[in-house]
Amino acid sequence: MALSALVLYLVFGLLGFGWRSWTHHRRTGSTGFHGISGRPGSVEWYAGIAFVIAVLAGIAAPALQLAGVLMPLHPLDTPWIAAAGTVLAITGIAATIYAQYDMGESWRIGVDPGETTTLVRDGVFAIVRNPIFTAMGVFATGITLMAPNPLALIALSTYILAIELQVRVVEEPHLIRTHGDSYTNYTSTVGRFIPFVGRS
């Protein structure tokens, strides 16, 4: 399953980042990538670094398991858990692409404080405020179950930490500054990552 996990990670990277960035650039002239926010050493900066570490560790985990360097954790190393992981990973890829499509030209990776984009509240954004991050979490969970070694669990935990910091410390304050009451009204009715959970 480690090989399948690597293949799905490649598919996710090509579709979720490569293809999406290319199509976004064709439509808007921008790749949508804004990089890591904040000054070095700030919480914003650490959130971006943690995300990069999570992605790299997420790729390394199945690769090292495939190479025999890491062994899967015995309680999680079962065919049905691996199969469930495969379903979750594929679902996460599809959901990520769908949510990116719903976000339209407002899609970005990172925050540019000088840029104003449309506040998207339709489609899957009417169900959760951060459906792309939720879908990526589903994908990361699936990959972890396909190659359930210690590094994969660390990568998943780091991803969750990075996204929590990115959303709460970087993106939500930026959206409040940019959209004011429209965004605060949105947060009062739609959950952060899970429907009805994280409303403020």
pLDDT digit string, tens, across residues 12-65: 999 887 777 777 567 776 665 566 777 788 888 888 899 999 999 999 999 999
Q: How far apart are CA 23 and CA 15, in angstroms?
A: 10
Phi, psi of 29 (to 5 degrees): 85, 0
Q: What pLDDT, on a 0 to 100 scale, did the predictor assign at position 107?
A: 61
pTM for this prediction: 0.91
- pLDDT exceeds cutoff 70 at 197: yes
pLDDT > 60? residue 127: yes
pLDDT of residue 35: 67
Residues in CB range of 143: below 8 A, 6 or more apart = 5, 8, 9, 58, 61, 62, 85, 89, 152
According to DSSP, the residues that pair with 128 across neighbouring strands are 191
Q: How far apart are CA 179 and CA 55, in angstroms?
A: 30
Q: CB of 132 within 8 A of CB of 35?
A: no
Tokens of 86: 């495969």
Which one is predicted more confidently, 37 or 151?
151
pLDDT at 159: 96
Give the per-residue pLDDT at 10.
92
Query: Three-state DSSP class for 179?
Result: helix
Query: For the packed helices 43-66 and 2-12, what is the interaxial angle rounded to 10 degrees?
Result: 140
Average pLDDT, the chain: 89
193, 172 Cβ separation under 8 angstroms: no
